[in-house]
Amino acid sequence: MGWSTRSCGRHLPPDFHFGGIGDGKVLTAKQRERAHERVIAEATAWAICLEEAATINERGLHECNIDLLARAAHELKVPPDYVLVDGVNRPPDLRFPSEPIVRGDASSASIAAASIIAKVTRDRVMEELHATYPQYGFDRNRGYWSPAHMDALSRCGLTPVHRLNKGTKRWLRVPPLHRP
């Protein structure tokens, strides 16, 4: 619900040991931070791409995610031989051989490593946004549909950093934007 979407591409050396790397959604924040630092330190290349909420609201989350994945792969300083895609769809403009893997972050350590970098990056962005919009609790809920966040949306309305989807619009009946 909050701010941007992100995609991460990374290129790991063949001797990379995946111990401690797993589905970022089930790791604790400390485990993700440790895994993030290790992947960043040992990766031969990595790239993070972000998209603004306004673009996501205009084009759609799925379309933006597909484009971001291709951008991240193309921005790697070491071109990949093969790209594992977390999801069902292969980005149409991806210039590398690839394979989509449904729930890839839970079944592929390689995808999990990229997912951890992306999630830690998003969490850090949300903490920065908390300084501007403290009433939304981005430092705790990261913009997800927690009861406290939904309460803040009801009281304060949307901000320019909120992503809109049909559920959000219907639930809120789209109140005016809140600007700092």
Average pLDDT over every residue of 144-164: 83
Other Cβ atoms closer than 10 A to 23:
18
Residue length, the chain? 180
Q: Name which of 18, 50, 49 is nearest 35 in CA terms.
A: 18
Predicted confidence band of residue 166 (pLDDT cuts 50, 70, 90): low
Q: Which residue has the higher pLDDT, 172 or 138?
A: 138
Summarised one tens digit per residue, pLDDT across range 108-136 is 888 888 888 888 998 898 899 999 999 98
**Predicted local distance difference test score (pLDDT) of residue 134:** 93
pLDDT at 63 exceeding the cut of 80: yes
Positive or negative: CA dihedral 155, 29, 112, 122: positive
* Contact in structure between 65 and 5 (CB atoms under 8 Å): yes
Summarised one tens digit per residue, pLDDT across range 6-35 is 556 666 777 777 777 777 778 888 999 998
pLDDT at 1 exceeding the cut of 50: no
pLDDT at 179 exceeding the cut of 60: no
Element (H, E) at 138: helix 138-141
**Predicted local distance difference test score (pLDDT) of residue 2:** 42
pLDDT at 79 exceeding the cut of 50: yes
Structure tokens that stand for 126 in this block: 């949300």
**Predicted local distance difference test score (pLDDT) of residue 174:** 53
* Contact in structure between 84 and 110 (CB atoms under 8 Å): yes
**Predicted local distance difference test score (pLDDT) of residue 3:** 44
Name the residue ranges covered by the structural domains of the chain: 5-172
Q: Name which of 23, 44, 20 is nearest 112 in CA terms.
A: 23
- Fold that domain 5-172 belongs to in CATH: Nucleotidyltransferase; domain 5 (3.30.420)
Radius of gyration of the chain (CA): 17
CA 62 to chain centre: 12
**Predicted local distance difference test score (pLDDT) of residue 172:** 65
**Predicted local distance difference test score (pLDDT) of residue 13:** 73
